[in-house]
């Protein structure tokens, strides 16, 4: 029987046991061979099944939201992606039976993503919605809250952040676009606003995933991932994991050209990026250590 949009699990004890925030049956834990628990993620080439297509610069691989949602959400819960791009997370929401709300700054990209998401299989009968907005702004937070209420929820049960890696790829001419930030400090100031909004939208005791990489600037490695991690910690998140993901085979979406970068590395004395981070954070549980029902 398909799961309706208001069909949700209710009060759950918030413990460190996965049963409180996912559908994994630990009595059968040996059967979950494809569920990652190690910090090195060798995911291989991008999954291009269904409507997943790697034609949008900056897309992350569908395997990332698939892994995070299976570990940290249950069917019928609500996932929010504050940099939804071409809809990778929301496509996986439909595949896995989670409701999805995405925020995309560029209206054209949002419209294209809605078309792509709409053709994804949806045997669970869940709801997805893509909002056009700036994820740094209070107005966008209110849009997301209104979408959550339409799903009968006060909070998101999981949040994804996959921001631009500063200016590695320019996604638009909009000055609000984080890829247009004047410098790294400006980028981090804008990102901090998004992290704060993510914290406010997330249900206490639940999880957020940050997908981020580092960058080079003027022959210097800029640890953008760890600086974004610190911003998340500063707004109140607890760090649960730093996973290192292999990006070989997915370089196009990160602005890489293998031969050019190998030449530059040999000439200038650095190493070519072959990884990015999938960082997992948790919002501290509410007093009483119980996840409140909607």
Superfamily (CATH) of domain 60-251+271-286: Vaccinia Virus protein VP39 (3.40.50.150)
Separation between Cα atoms, residue 180 and residue 175, nearest integer Å:
6
Residue 183 C-alpha from the chain's centroid:
23
For the chain, give every domain's residue range: 60-251+271-286
**According to the model, what pLDDT value does residue 262 have?**
84
β-pairing, 156-161 vs 202-212, is: parallel
Instruction: Encode the chain (294 residues) as per-residue pLDDT tens digits.
Output: 344 444 443 333 334 455 589 999 999 999 999 999 999 999 877 666 666 555 545 567 999 999 999 999 999 999 999 999 999 999 999 999 999 999 999 999 999 999 999 999 999 999 999 999 999 999 999 999 999 999 999 999 999 999 999 988 888 889 999 999 999 999 999 999 999 999 999 999 999 999 999 998 888 899 999 999 999 999 999 999 999 999 865 554 444 556 787 888 898 888 888 899 999 999 999 886 555 444
The pTM is what?
0.86
Separation between Cα atoms, residue 61 and residue 91, nearest integer Å:
12
Query: Quick one: tokens of 152?
Result: 């009968």
- CA 3-114-101 angle, to 5 degrees, is 55
The candidate with the shortest Cα–Cα distance to 153, out of 293, 20, 4, 284, is 293
Exposure of 7 in the CB half-sphere (CA atoms within 13 A): 12
Give yes or no for a contact between 5 and 151, defined as CB atoms under 8 angstroms apart.
yes
**According to the model, what pLDDT value does residue 219 have?**
81
Query: Quick one: tokens of 269?
Result: 């004395």
Residue 31 C-alpha from the chain's centroid:
26
Other beta carbons less than 10 A from residue 211's beta carbon: 23
């Amino acid at each position: 029987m398909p799961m309706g949009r208001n069909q949700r699990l209710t009060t759950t004890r918030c413990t460190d046991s996965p049963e409180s925030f996912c559908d994994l049956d630990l009595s059968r834990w040996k059967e979950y061979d494809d569920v990652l628990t190690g910090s090195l993620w060798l995911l291989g080439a991008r999954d291009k099944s269904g409507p997943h297509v790697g034609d949008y610069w900056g897309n992350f691989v569908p395997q990332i939201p698939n892994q995070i949602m299976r570990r940290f959400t249950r069917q019928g819960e609500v996932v929010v992606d504050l940099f939804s791009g071409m809809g990778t997370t929301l496509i996986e929401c439909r595949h896995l039976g989670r409701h999805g709300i995405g925020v995309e700054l560029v209206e054209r990209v949002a419209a294209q993503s809605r078309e792509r998401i709409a053709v994804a299989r949806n045997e669970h009968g869940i709801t997805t919605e893509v909002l056009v907005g700036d994820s740094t702004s209070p107005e966008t937070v209110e849009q997301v809250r209104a979408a959550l209420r339409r799903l009968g929820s006060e909070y998101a049960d999981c949040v994804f952040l996959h921001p631009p890696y500063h200016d590695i790829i320019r996604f638009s001419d909009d000055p609000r676009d984080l890829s247009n930030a004047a410098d790294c400090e400006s980028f981090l100031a804008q990102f901090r606003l998004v992290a704060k909004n993510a914290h406010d939208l997330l249900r206490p005791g639940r999880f957020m995933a940050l997908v981020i990489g580092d960058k080079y600037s003027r022959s210097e490695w800029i640890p953008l991932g760890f600086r974004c991690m610190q911003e998340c910690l500063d707004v109140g998140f607890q760090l649960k994991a730093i996973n290192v993901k292999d990006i070989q085979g997915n370089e196009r979406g990160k602005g890489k050209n293998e031969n050019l970068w190998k030449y530059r590395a040999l000439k200038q004395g650095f190493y070519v990026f072959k990884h990015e981070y999938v960082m997992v954070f948790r919002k501290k549980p509410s007093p009483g250590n119980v996840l409140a029902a909607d």
